[in-house]
Structures are given as C-alpha cells and as structure tokens.
Amino acid sequence: MRLPPVIAPLAAAGAVAALAVGALTGGVAAASPAAAAASGYTWGNVEIGGGGFVPGIIYNQGEPGLVYARTDIGGAYRMDTATRRWVPLLDHVGWDEWSYTGVLSLATDAVDPDRVYAAVGTYTNEWDPLNGAVLRSSDRGETWQRTVLPFKVGGNMPGRGMGERLQIDPNDNRVLYLGTESGNGLWRSTDRGVTWAKVASFPNAGNYAQDPTSDNSYVTQNQGVVWVTFDPTSGSPGTRTSTIYVGVADKENGVYRSTDAGVTWQRVPGQPTGFLPHKGVYDAQGGQLYIATSDTGGPYDGAKGQVARLDARTGTWTDISPLPLTSEELHYGFSGLTIDRQDPDTIMVASQVSWWPDVVFYRSTDRGATWSRIWDWDGYPARTLRYTMDYSATPWITMGATSANEPEPLVKLGWMTESLEIDPFDSDAMMYGTGATVWGTDNLTDWDTGGRIDLTIRARGIEETAVLDLAAPPGPVELYSGLGDIGGFVHEDIGEVPRSIYTQPVHGSVSGVDFAQSKPATVVRVGHAVGGAVESHIAVSTSSGASWWAGQEPAGVTSSGTVAMAADGGRIVWSPQGTGVHVSTTLGSSWTPSTGVPAGAQVESDRVNPTTFYAYAAGRFYTSTDGGTSFTASPATGFPTEGNVRYGAVPGHEGHVWLAAENGLYRSTDAGATFTRVPGFEDGGAVGFGKAAPGASYPAIYTTSLREGVRGFFRSVDGGSSWVRINDDEHQYAWTGAAITGDPDVFGRVYVGTNGRGIVVGSSDGTTPTPSATPTPTATPTPAPTPTPAPTSTPTPTPTASATPTQSPTAGPTATPTPTPGPTAPPATSCTVRYTANGWTTGFTAGVRITNDGTTSLDGWTLRLTYDGGQRLEQGWSATWSQSGSVVTATNAAWNGNLAPGASVDVGFNGTHTGTAAAPVTATLNGSACTLS
C-alpha cells in the first residue's frame, strides 16, 4: 500500500541510535503465473524466464522446500514447491518507491517459517531519492510491513553478491542483524524488525570501495558489513545466540566475532588477510567457520582469492583453497560458498569470477582437504565435464549462438555465480543464480561417484528484464520487445518462452522497435552492444521477425537511439546517437539526412499516412509530411524540456497523437499542430493503444500516469472522455514509464514495460469498472502547462545484472528517454588516461580512467587505445566498445558523455592476449593524444 512512513524520533541511548517506524502494510500477488486484481483485470507476465542477475538464493533452515530468491532490480520471489515456479513478492511497490525493488539481502525464519524479511533499496548514491528499508512479512511475503532506515541501501551497487547481510538469530527469532553499506555499520532489531538500532560496539564499518578516487559515485561507496552468521549451539531456544560472526569489507580485518550475544566484538585472530570475505558459513556440527574471499567486491570481477576454515574450538585457521595463490590457473577469487547440512564434510565453492571459458565449481567431501572441479581440461581446447545441461525451459540462453566456440561452451554454466546453495534437507538438490538465470540439479551426489549431475534451468516465474520499448502488431505475432542486456524477442505466443533473442544481427540492448501498421510483417529495430561491438545498430525484417538483415548506417552512428517505420513500410526514419535524424527509402540500405529536426530527437510514425512522421526534442514537437525528408516545429509549447516523454500515433486515425510527459497527458488531432492537455493528468508516464471496445470506433487508450493524485494504469474506451484505473495497489510494478501498449487483436489486453520485472500483461475479465468522466477541454494551439521540476537524472551505472558478461545495468527510471549525442566535431582535448589491468594466462581485465585536463567541457568523447601485443577485446562496460585491428575504441554511454574540466570517468573491458597483458602504447581522446600512465 502507498502509505507515508511514520518515523519516530531517533532516540539516543548512550551511543546507540534507534529508529522506529509504524507498520505499513502492502499486499502482493500470491497466485502464479497470473494474479487477479480488484480492478477487473488479471495480471501476469509475458513469459521470458529470468533475464537478470540473481545474487541470492536463500533456503529456510527449518522447513523443507521453502526457498526464496532475491534480485538486484527486480524484487524478491518465493518458490512454489508444487509447480517449481517462483512467485513474485514485491509487485505492490509503486512508481515513487521504485528503489524498493532492489533487494540487498533476504532472511527467512527457521523458527517461524511464515516470517520473512528483506533489506531493500537500489542505490546508495545520488541516483536514488529514497532511504532504504527493511520489509517484514508474517505470511511468507503475501503482505508486508515496512521500517524505513535512516540511510540508503544498495541492492544494485557493487558488492551486492556478498552476504547474506540480513540474518535472524536461530535461537531468539526476535533478534535480527543487518550489515549495511556506506559506513553505517552493523544494525540490530530485537522486536522482529519493527525497530532498529546501530550496534555501537561493533568496531569496523568497512573501508573497501571499488574505486574510492573515482568521480563516478557508483564505485566510490564503502561496501560495508557484508555478512552475518551464527553458531546456533552457543544458545538455546528463546535465548540469544552468544557466538556471532560478522564479515566486513576490509582486506586486513575481515572477520569479527562476539561471544556475548553482540555486546562486545573482537577481530578473529589469525584470519587470512589481503582479500575480502564474500561469504561466511558456519557448520554447527563440526564447529567450523568457512569463508570464501576475493580481491574485489564483485560481482563482475575478481582475480585472486582464498577459501579458509576456522576451527572455532582451537582458533586455528587453515587455508583450504582449491588452488594456491601462486597457481597460474588462479585468475579469479571465490564466492558461492555452501555446506551440505545433511553431510557437513561436503562443501562447495564457486569461482569469482571466471568469464573464460566458464565458471568453475569446486566440491570437497573432506572439509576442503581435497577438491574436484565441475570441469577439467582434457588437452586444450577439449574439456571433460561432470555435468549435463538442459536449457529447454529457456532456449534463448544460447544468446543467438548456434554452436560452441571451444573451449567456451554453447551454453555456459554461468557468470556472477555468487549464490550457490545446497538444499539443507536434500544433499542431491542444489540451485545457483547467475547473471541471467537460475540453474538447479536433483542428483548432486552423483558427482562424488564419477557420474554427471543434471542441470536444468529453474527460473520459471522470475522475470527480471528491463523494458526499453514494445510494439504489438496485428496478426500472428503478439508482441515485439526491446529489452536491456538481452536484446529482445519476437513473441509469437506470450505464454511461451521465446526460442531465441534477436539475431542477424544480435543487439545487446534494443532501444527501439516498430512495424508498418498496414504491412505488419515489415519490422525495424535498433540496438547497441553491451560489450564489444555490433555488426550494425539497425536491423530490418519483412517476415515478421522470422529473419532479419543488418541495415547500413549513416556516418557517425555511435549508438541506437529511436526508430520509426512508415505506415506502409516504405520508409524508415532513424534518430541514432552520434549523428542526426536520417530517412531511408530502401529499407535501411541507404540514408539521407533529415532537415529541420534536432539530432537525438525521439521519432514516431503516423499509423495511417505513410508520409507523416513525428519527432520530439527538448520541449518541442516536430512534424514531417514529406516522408521524413524535412520536419517543421509545431507552434505548441509548454512541454517539459527534459525528463521522461513518451508519445505515439493512434492506429486508424490519421494525425491523432497522444503525448505523455512529466507535466501531464496531451492529445493532438491535427498531426501535432496543436495539442490539448487532458484534464486530471498530473504526470503522464507512457501512452499506447489497443483494440477498441465492442461497439466503439476509437482504439482503447492506455497510460501509466498520475491522475487526480493516484498513480496507476488507466484505460479509456471513448477517446479520452472518461477513464478507469485497471490495476490496483497490489499490482504496481514500480517504475513503468518506458512503454505501454494495448493488444490490437484482443480488447482489454495491455502490455506494460517495467524496469526489472519484465513485461507485465493485463487481461480484462469482462467487467467494466465505473469510469470517471473527463471534462471537455478547450483546445489551444499553444498550451502552456505548468512544468513540474525536472527529476533527478538516474543514469545507468557501471555494469549490472546481465545475460551476457560485463553488461551495463539498468538503473532506476531514466530521466532522458533519448541519449544526448556527442558533438559532430569534438574540440581538441588535453587528457590523461590511467590504465590498470589484471592478467592471467590468456586474458585480462582492464580498468581505464579518462581525465579531462583541458579548460572546456567535453559533450561526448571517444577513446582509442592502440596495442602492439595481439590483445583482443571481448566485452566492456560503461561505454560502447569496438575494435579495428590493433585499436580498441570506447565511445561514451548516454550517462557519462559530459566531462567537465578536471573531471574523470571510469570504464573497463575484458580481453584476451597471446603473450602478455601489456598496456596500450598510445591513447587518444577525440583524436588528441593523451598522457598514458
């Protein structure tokens, strides 16, 4: 429920500050795969299956079969044991609270299994307007209450795979501990999460940041207190556990212990140093603490690390690492630590992180004295495998490939595998999360007798994609999707997982997709890479997406932008990043610059007249009546000059355009010459159209907007004269401002794009909620609405949850729908490039800091690194990467293109080499030589 938090005053009790918050209850959808709402609609998902990072899988230690999963931007889930389908638990989170879909940690109560807790918040820097919160539920996540914390929580920040940070005392379940970020230390609740107090006696809030000197606040945060675990034998039911271990992001002082139920704390003597303790797991039967460490906080990187065991009775630490630090094969740290609770001699650990050729899982049946690997080399490039893989549940996981590129397999075991968990009640059952999905097995112990374990995808019900665009054509294809990190799909049946992502070419992220309204088999999409380069940023199909070809590009294109297809399929208007708007009359094989329209404008087509196109940029609307050759600015004013703006033309009604902006919802019936503001709408999120209601002539209109003080999904079946809200407070899906469209063939069906919960689909049950009438507005040629203040821009941070390695994350609501391109002629540059690399036998990870040493700002930049040692780019982050010969090129992302004098930006990439991971010999920025250090 969207209720304001009631925060009690902070009470000082010595050095301990306590925060009390009133109970805020929010309901969530319980049924799966779709849940009925109180609005006459049933809500579910277009089936994709996964699509993002799952950093935590948490089994309940008291009830068999009870298991939860947490994601970094897509909420939390509970497994339905009967269907093996994950049930979403945080769909009640609303637009203004989008931050609470990032889950940094989750705890399930072994004493009272109905209780579950989640520490939520997405970013700890200025991108996120909200402080974090601890959610608590006494009905397994069906409903929640909330305690808002006095600091931010970063479920999508660096280090989010470490943990678990939130834990329940196994003897006194009134007591919870929470390890926090940003120097906020260790916190404790003694009333089942209702109120929280900082543990003032805990001596170390952590000191590790990914890059503390960076100008990018995403990588400068202190990753803090990273896990808590208990020795349950040191207490008895109803009394607090005496011995507690806590892990801290500090390479010299990583593990602390209390033996008096958290009153005092000491650094555990003799502990290994030089690395960060990603995981800490205690074996109560053996009286031993295991830790897995890495040299970075992850989840994308890690080049060295150890696994260690503490005998709690003797205080002796033993290095039980699968590989010694001196091994040339060790090019990763360790995480994903788990114990077989039915046979505690057995432990497992995962590499953190091995991009090439694949992740490595290690298994020991003698408490780490010896190890076996899930795969071994068998004469390069051949490998012997202790596993089989069945990916039929999510066939697109091949990412468009049709054969293996040995030694890399067609389908990898995964990447970013920080959560590897053996079922505490079943030694044969294990699940682990990756950057794209969840895998599991039910015959794990076959590993120990020389057999192969059978891995199957276990992500059904988890929908974690970030939606950038949607298009619903009439006919056999139900939907085209444009998604971040995995490109998107042709959805022929929204109830079935698609077989393949877009190919020919593959696009890492698809930012725009459109079809010809009167010839819907003709389709265009534009996309960009999330690492490396793309064959072309544009692809065209005349077979409803059954096959595609790569279009040619105008000179200067650096990224994808937006695209529009003429109603008859005869023209394409493209507004890419890096150059101006262009038009093609040859289905993308040649291009002509359009005139009268700014570069970077957001383009759409009229759905009736094939020579009419529209564009929007910086508060001005533009119309072309000559097929996109030239555009004319509309006299209409009053639109916001920045922020989220989405608009579209109405099928079957020439010249009808609806525009949703952050200061309202507008309509035009004269091809944009004039606009009328629709009364009642305070913030228009997105707008789209679907099949008309029975007996109606105007398509149904759908919008994700703020209307008369209520944020929701609204529908009109009478051309905007009246509106009904079609969702309820249990089905809000956080930020939904990117895309909404109705189905042209099924009245009442609507598709909504989310930022981490995939594509939501709503279906009408045939009942009609009572609409509220909209007063007839007075049309004015130049409306002058009162603009709302520009929102805080939420750029896309350094890499995130991804289905391909080192992909950039999708942040919270993106304030600027179309990225600002760099200048056509960049100014001369004075610059410094600091280059660092961690290398191994055949590969390396490079970090690059670019500093503008000049006196003028750079509005867009291109970095070129020249190598002379055979280095090859694999994938990169925080920029668009490509390679030609010995030159590796990086062009700014939408969010880091502006470099003020003295400012720096950090980017990076993974690569391979044939000799050594030598540094580049030269570096240039916008064509000017830089000082290379």
The residue annotated as part of the active site, out of 169, 295, 485, 906, is 485
Other CB atoms within 10 Å distance of the CB of residue 141: 26
CA triplet 122, 73, 300: central angle to 5 degrees?
90
DSSP-assigned letters across all residues of 717-774: SSTTSEEEE---TT---S---S-EEE-SSSTT-EEEE-BSS-EEEEEE-S--PPPEEP
CA nearest to 306, candidates 328, 283, 278, 286: 278
* Residues in the chain, total: 933
DSSP-assigned letters across all residues of 626-666: STTSB-EE-S-----SSS--EEEEPTTSTT-EEEEETTEEE
| Token pair for 205 | 């809030």
The number of angstroms, rounded, from the C-alpha of 85 to the middle of its chain's C-alpha atoms is 21
In the DSSP assignment, the letter for residue 809 is P
Task: Establish whether 743 is a catalytic residue.
Answer: no
| Token pair for 583 | 């038009």
What is the SS3 assignment for 447? helix
**CA dihedral in degrees (801, 500, 357, 535; nearest 10)?**
-90
| Token pair for 161 | 């795979």
Q: Identify the residue whose tokens are 């509309």.
A: 634
CA–CA separation, 187 and 18 (whole Å): 9
| Token pair for 410 | 């067609």
CA–CA separation, 737 and 754 (whole Å): 8
CA triplet 800, 803, 804: central angle to 5 degrees?
85
Helix %, strand %, coil % of the chain (to 5) = 0, 40, 60
User: Hey, which residues does 703 pair with through a beta bridge?
Assistant: 687, 714
The residue annotated as part of the active site, out of 72, 169, 301, 469, is 72
Task: Establish whether 728 is a catalytic residue.
Answer: no
Contact 21, 6 (CB under 8 A): yes
Rounded to a whole number, what is the largest CA-CA distance in the chain? 83
DSSP-assigned letters across all residues of 350-370: EEE---SS---EEEESSTTSS
Helix ranges restricted to H, 146-248: none
CA–CA separation, 364 and 348 (whole Å): 6
User: Hey, which residues does 120 pair with through a beta bridge?
Assistant: 103, 133
Beta strand 453-457 pairing with 387-390: parallel
What's the alpha-carbon Rg for the chain, to the nearest Å?
27
Q: Which residues are the active-site residues?
A: 72, 485
